[in-house]
């Protein structure tokens, strides 16, 4: 299948590395970016066509648009792609509002197309292994879980950090999809949330001399603590923050009637897994990546999508997960803070 990439920024090169590992039925034909210079240099580096966004969306030979634009453009690019008869793989979040999510799903069904969305890290070996362990006899019935992700934001490393502090950014919409997707894949749908959030810093200082601006006005909340209640009755505490100076290791843990399990960071494709050993009364490593260098790159989800479509094996329930993640993030973000549980409408 022929791919057209829209958005030739920081993450696009990682996708190309991932694609280069797939030898079957995947050909990156063209790229586009609203910044023509970026598109031209990406095209030159990877020996592909550089087109305008409009021309790429109309190109008759492109089957899948890989949408690597910032969150505020995800809906627009994905919607136009579906309307033009292209399948879509979108970076996360899949859209910003539930309404946009519904429009994407309707357009997908109307044109008999598929929209997959990041994250795709659950396709990596660590999540597959951990999921098998959860559903084995080793952990027992899950009674709880805990998530935390904390850094002091992205301005220290990202070449264009502004969008992380605008609508669709912030830790919830940027990192939330990794953790929420993992939780939902293990525990099923979320039915209620309670949440508290704040914007601790109104401005972010950018010290990188290669970036044209040195100050970002923060429009979104950047520190969240929520409780998520799943259909199964399990309640998970969920902390996600760009405001914590001393970052700690990302945490994704599940507590069962028999034991507890620490997952690898779902922001990565591979990593360590531990189970609590009751006899020794300590965490015991049960899985380490065979290759210490990260051998996995973005793009696994696109490769899986091509395989699923080619084999007529698309899982219709999985297609809804990014939309349910969006619904949960919106519920966390818009929580009324009156101390009541916010009941989800379960639209996806």
The rounded distance, in Å, linking the Cα atoms of 202 and 21 is 42
Distance CA 96, CA 326 (A): 7
Of these, 63, 91, 155, 333, which contacts ligand NAD (CB under 6 A)?
91
Backbone angles phi, psi at 342, to 5 degrees: -100, 120
Nearer to ligand NAD, 9 or 189 (CB): 9
120 binds ligand NAD, rule: CB under 6 A: no
Which residue, 35 or 284, has its beta carbon nearer to ligand NAD?
35
Spell out where 41-124 has E strands: 49-50, 64-67, 87-90, 115-117
- Name the segment binding ligand NAD (CB under 6 A); options: 5-13, 20-28, 192-200, 307-315: 5-13
C-alpha span between 329 and 184 (Å, rounded): 12
Least distance from ligand NAD to the Cβ atom of residue 195, Å: 21
Stretch that binds ligand NAD, among 3-11, 183-191, 198-206, 223-231 (CB under 6 A): 3-11
Sign of the CA dihedral running 262, 176, 120, 45: negative
- Taking the alpha carbons of 334, 336, 340, 344 in that order, is the dihedral positive or negative? negative
Q: Does 8 engage in binding with ligand NAD (CB under 6 A)?
A: yes
H-run or E-run covering 177: helix 170-187
Smallest distance from ligand NAD to CB 228, Å: 22
Between 191 and 211, name the residue whose CB sits nearer to ligand NAD: 211
Measured from each CB, the residue nearest to ligand NAD is 9
Q: Which of residues 67-86 bind ligand NAD (CB under 6 A)?
A: 68-71, 73, 77
Query: Does 155 interact with ligand NAD (rule: CB under 6 A)?
Result: no
Buried b (16+ CB within 10 A) or exposed e, 134-169: beeeebeebeebebbbbbbbbbeebebbbbbbbebb
8 Å CB contact between 258 and 226:
no
Residue from 17, 21, 35, 156 touching ligand NAD (CB under 6 A): that is 35
What residues make contact with ligand NAD under the rule CB under 6 A? 6-11, 33-35, 38, 53, 68-71, 73, 77, 91, 159-160, 174
């Amino acid at each position: 299948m022929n791919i057209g990439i829209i958005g030739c920024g920081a993450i696009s090169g990682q996708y190309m590395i991932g694609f280069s590992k797939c030898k079957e039925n995947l050909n990156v034909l063209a790229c586009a970016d609203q910044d023509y210079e970026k598109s031209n240099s990406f095209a030159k580096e990877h020996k592909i066509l550089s087109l305008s966004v409009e021309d790429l969306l109309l190109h008759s030979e492109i089957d899948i648009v890989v949408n690597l634009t910032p969150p505020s453009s995800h809906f627009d690019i994905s919607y136009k792609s579906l309307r033009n008869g292209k399948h879509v793989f979108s970076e996360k979040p899949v859209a910003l509002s539930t309404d946009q999510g519904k429009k994407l799903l309707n357009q997908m069904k109307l044109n008999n197309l598929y929209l997959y969305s990041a994250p795709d890290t659950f396709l990596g070996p660590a999540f597959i292994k951990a999921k098998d362990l959860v559903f084995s006899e080793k952990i027992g019935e899950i009674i709880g879980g805990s998530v935390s992700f904390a850094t002091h934001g992205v301005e220290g490393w990202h070449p264009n950090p502004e969008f992380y502090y605008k609508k669709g950014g912030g830790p919830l919409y940027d990192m939330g999809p990794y953790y929420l997707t993992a939780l939902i894949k293990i525990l099923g749908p979320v039915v209620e949330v309670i949440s508290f959030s704040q914007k601790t810093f109104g401005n972010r200082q950018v010290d990188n001399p290669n970036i044209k601006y040195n100050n970002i006005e923060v429009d979104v909340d950047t520190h969240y603590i929520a409780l998520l209640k799943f259909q199964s009755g399990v309640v998970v505490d969920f902390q996600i923050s760009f405001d914590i100076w001393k970052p700690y290791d990302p945490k994704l843990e599940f507590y069962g009637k028999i034991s507890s399990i620490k997952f690898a960071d779902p922001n990565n494709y591979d990593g360590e897994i531990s189970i609590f050993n009751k006899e020794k009364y300590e965490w015991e490593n049960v899985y380490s990546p065979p290759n210490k260098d990260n051998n996995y790159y973005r793009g696994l989800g696109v490769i899986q999508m091509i395989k699923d479509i080619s084999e007529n094996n698309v899982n219709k329930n999985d297609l809804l997960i990014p939309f349910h993640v969006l619904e949960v993030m919106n519920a966390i973000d818009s929580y009324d803070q009156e101390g009541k549980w916010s009941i989800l409408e379960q639209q996806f």
